Structure 1
Amino acid sequence: MILTNKISIYIIIVLTAMACQEKKNKQENSVEENTASQEGTFGYDLAFLKKYKQVIVLKSPDDEKSQAIVVADYQGRVMTSTASGDSGNSYGWLNYALIKSGENKPHFNALGGEDRFWFSPEGGQFSVYFKKGKSFVYENWQTPAVIDSEPFDVVSSDSSSVRFKKKTTLENNIGTKFDVIIERQVKMISKSEIKTRLFVQDFDKIKTTGYTSENAVTNLGEDWKRETGALGIWILGMFKPSPKTTIVAPFSKSNSEKPLLTSNYFGNIPDDRLIVKDSAVFLKADGKFRSKIGLSPKSARNIAGSYDAEKGILTIILYDLDPKGEYLKSTWELHKDPFGGDALNAYNDGPLEDGSQMGPFYELESNSNVLLLKKNEKLIHRHSTFHFEGEKSDLNKIAKTVLGVDLESIENAFSLK
């Protein structure tokens, strides 16, 4: 009798535990399904990308809610990231329709992504985006397949980092061929390291995520020469615009009171969209007017960012900068000084002349300096991306420390003109 009672109690315990576990599983599945159905969340973008590509999810070493999605088929690019796990904001802009279609578009596949690898320069006699002898017009512009539609090979990966490699041959506008190996590592950054890199201390109440891409190009062919051209590394990040998003590009005054700024890439930018103040350039990032700016290495600082006052998201990029170095020029024309280009670029998308539009999105971009590589020599460029969410007063401290500008000045840069 006692044995029977013990068995009965045991069965009840087991059944109760099973029922609790089933309830827990249902709750977790419900949360996951609910998150995956909410556009704008990291969970939604993760579920979407998994339908079409193999994804690599990286997590911060000390905060598992700080995550990033990397796709090898898209040249090892960081598609998006979050500071708050599946239910958190997804920071990268994705072209859902193009990804879903699986098509290869002419000129450029604007798939999206927060950190993608490209080559500089885009235009000029050293460009690999215009075939030999072709004029610099849109019809002739073609992004090389190796950085547009071909996959990168995964070399190794762990929970917080992944390495890629790709071998390719390119030809520039004057017929110079480049045999190179591209190497790329994406690595999540811990909170303690973020504090060290950005010289900020108190953001324990702030949601944050950060990662670095370390990019390298090794010359496998003939020595690169000034007369025949070179390649630079160009990292571009696509983010979601809003009516209240502003790009901030701080500049150094060590060479001039005014920044060495290029702002006519796609024609002049109206004053209500671009303004230069004491220590920073401000550009509207609403995705409604096609405009691009660039800062010379003599004026640029190694940081830039944006602030979305609508969602309360502060974004920072940190990149390798050589103020005395040479940078390849990317404007669509023959260059008298092809080594006099920009270190930092920022872009706001908008309608083209025919009314069509790639985005909308906006971009924060950095370029490497140019080195005339001998055979087997390597060029390296590092580019880091950080996102912060929290109380405005706490974000303001970071903006002032890192960008040298307070959030009120960013938010009201154009309304106070």
Structure 2
Amino acid sequence: MNHQTLSVLFLTMVMLTAIQSCSNPQKEDTSEQVKVYEKGTFGYDLDFLKKYYQDLILLEDGEAGIVVVPSLQGRVMTSTANGSGGQSFGWINYDYIAAGKLNHQFNPIGGEERFWVGPEGGQFSLYFDQNTTFDFDNWRVPKEIDTEPFSLVSSDGKKALFQKAMRLTNYSGTVFEFDVTRNINLLHKEEIEKLLGMPLSDAVKSVGFESENTLTNKGDNNWDKTSGMPSIWILSMLISSEQTWVIVPFRSGDDEALGKIVTDDYFGKVPSDRLVVKDSVLFFQADGLKRSKIGLSPQRSLPIAGSYDAKNGVLTIAQFTIPEDNTDYVNSAWEMQEKPFAGDVFNSYNDGPLADGNQLGPFYELESSSPAAALTPGESMTHFHRTYHFTGPKPHLDEIVSTLLNTNLAEVESQLAK
């Protein structure tokens, strides 16, 4: 076989190989591109939520991130301080979301921070129709804050702005027309330090976000104490453990001047081993094992509260605005009220089994409210609520607790030994 023949054979083989390659392209190795995350991680929750909410927005800053969903009223569903493999901090009701059914009363899908309006009960309630009794069968969450979406106005990877027009009627028959704007801002570490007024160690992982919630009277009438006044109500659903305690610093002083320290009988009086009141701080057990709730008045509340999960080493801080010289806060008690504007600034709820043994969670909530909105037509009111999570070496977490919450981790953990 001569040189020319060998050359022809070689070229023929090259052409055949190329044709075969084109007709049978090799599949790309995607094993590194698809990662399955364990339940409890941010990556797991992000993948889960993507299946059900196509409008999902991911805001990120380094390893810190949050998931926001416009169709869920601009709700922050969860967050992470340590990337996709880090712990997911928001409580999510997976089974309820997967079932895809709507409930006419309330759809408990969870979420780390959501927008509601108050009051819940009383003659100015927005959750009970006129001439109904204040019991669970008649209670329902307005669709505007439960099932209807908020419109996404803008988003840039660090912020997301939402808007919603609402028309609600309270128990007394007053119609409220108003606009809500909700601006979610993922905070950089330097912003967190500035807002909390303290430096953070590089050994601490953190995530922080702020919701700026504005309510504008779009109707023709003034909102006052005769008609009732709505309020901005922010609720955070967080994952409980048997070693979680809510930590609430408060303004100390005489009961005659400031009133009682804490309201502790929303669902029956909280047992003394679950609510410990010290000189300037109280501890409320948030283990998801007993349904209970506490509240602090504007006379007692400070613009900060927190919780510590000793099992998972997670410190959570909630920070919120309390305007000076305004003590009119809506009362959400399920009854006709003598003092409908003597309500709470801060609340914490611990989930637990109902009388029939069923349970929604377990989870717990940190909640804040704005004052009652005494707005004239066109006037607005804004309420800020910020959520921070910290993980890392205990001495550094203890520094945060000692600086912000009138206590220390040793005192918090002493409650676990009881």
Shorter-chain TM-score above 0.5: yes
Deviation by residue 1:173-210 (Cα, 9 ceiling, x = unmatched):
11010011111010001101111111221321100000
Correspondence for 2:285: 284
Query: In structure 1, what residue type is equivalent to 2:237?
Result: M
- Contact residue 298 and residue 324 of structure 1 kept, 8 A: no
Deviation by residue 1:257-304 (Cα, 9 ceiling, x = unmatched):
885311111111111111111211211111010000000011011000
- Contact residue 79 and residue 89 of structure 2 kept, 8 A: yes
- Structure 2 distance, partners of 1:202, 1:286, is 28
Deviation by residue 1:87-110 (Cα, 9 ceiling, x = unmatched):
000000000011111111242111
> Structure 2: which 5+ residue stretches go unaligned?
1-27
Give the TM-score normalised by the residue count of structure 2.
0.90
Aligned residues: 388
Deviation by residue 1:20-57 (Cα, 9 ceiling, x = unmatched):
xx77x633x2xx5232xx00000000000000002100
Give SS of 1:261's match. coil
Correspondence for 2:31: 26
Correspondence for 2:322: 321
- Structure 2 distance, partners of 1:243, 1:211, is 26
- Structure 1 distance, partners of 2:41, 2:347, is 28
Give SS of 2:213's match. strand
Deviation by residue 1:351-402 (Cα, 9 ceiling, x = unmatched):
1111111211100000001231111111110000000000011100001111
Could you tell which deviates more after superposition, 255-264 or 163-172? 255-264
- Structure 2 distance, partners of 1:149, 1:224, is 26
Deviation by residue 1:308-348 (Cα, 9 ceiling, x = unmatched):
00000000000001353111111111111111100000000
- Contact residue 297 and residue 324 of structure 1 kept, 8 A: no
Give SS of 2:223's match. coil
- Structure 2 distance, partners of 1:105, 1:250, is 37
Correspondence for 2:400: 398
Correspondence for 1:171: 169
Q: For residues 358 and 106 of structure 1, do their structure 2 counterparts lie closer, same or farther at Cα, with a shift above 3 Å needed?
A: farther
The residue correspondences of 1:142-157 to structure 2 (distance < 5 A) are: 142-157=140-155
Correspondence for 1:250: 249
Of the two, which has the highest radius of gyration? 2
What is the percentage of aligned positions where both structures have the same residue?
Answer: 45
Give SS of 1:87's match. coil
Correspondence for 2:334: 332
Correspondence for 1:105: 103
Correspondence for 2:299: 298
- Structure 1 distance, partners of 2:138, 2:89, is 32
Deviation by residue 1:90-145 (Cα, 9 ceiling, x = unmatched):
00000001111111124211111111000011111111100112111111100000
- Contact residue 168 and residue 181 of structure 1 kept, 8 A: yes
Correspondence for 1:234: 233
Correspondence for 2:267: 266
- Contact residue 113 and residue 237 of structure 2 kept, 8 A: yes
Correspondence for 1:223: 222
The residue correspondences of 1:307-318 to structure 2 (distance < 5 A) are: 307-318=308-319
Give SS of 2:84's match. helix
Query: In structure 2, what residue type is equivalent to 1:244?
Result: Q
- Contact residue 259 and residue 299 of structure 2 kept, 8 A: no
- Structure 1 distance, partners of 2:371, 2:201, is 33
Correspondence for 1:14: none
Give SS of 1:33's match. coil
- Contact residue 43 and residue 85 of structure 2 kept, 8 A: yes
Could you tell which deviates more after superposition, 269-278 or 283-292? 269-278
The residue correspondences of 1:56-75 to structure 2 (distance < 5 A) are: 56-60=57-61, 64-75=62-73
Query: In structure 1, what residue type is equivalent to 2:347?
Result: N
- Structure 1 distance, partners of 2:359, 2:77, is 20
- Structure 1 distance, partners of 2:260, 2:80, is 33
- Structure 2 distance, partners of 1:295, 1:255, is 15
Query: In structure 2, what residue type is equivalent to 1:302?
Result: P
Give SS of 1:282's match. strand
Give the TM-score normalised by the residue count of structure 1.
0.90
- Structure 1 distance, partners of 2:176, 2:131, is 17
- Structure 2 distance, partners of 1:225, 1:202, is 44
Q: For residues 265 and 185 of structure 1, do their structure 2 counterparts lie closer, same or farther at Cα, with a shift above 3 Å needed?
A: same
Correspondence for 1:49: 49
Q: CA RMSD in A?
A: 1.7
- Matching residue within 392, 400, 415 for 1:413: 415
Correspondence for 1:360: 362
Deviation by residue 1:232-279 (Cα, 9 ceiling, x = unmatched):
000000000000000111101156488531111111111111111121
- Structure 1 distance, partners of 2:60, 2:286, is 29
Query: In structure 2, what residue type is equivalent to 1:242?
Result: S
- Contact residue 217 and residue 380 of structure 2 kept, 8 A: yes
**How far off is 1:225 after superposition?**
2.0
- Structure 2 distance, partners of 1:194, 1:77, is 21
Correspondence for 1:194: 192
Correspondence for 2:40: 40
Could you tell which deviates more after superposition, 100-109 or 266-275? 100-109
Q: Does 1:375 align with 2:377?
A: yes
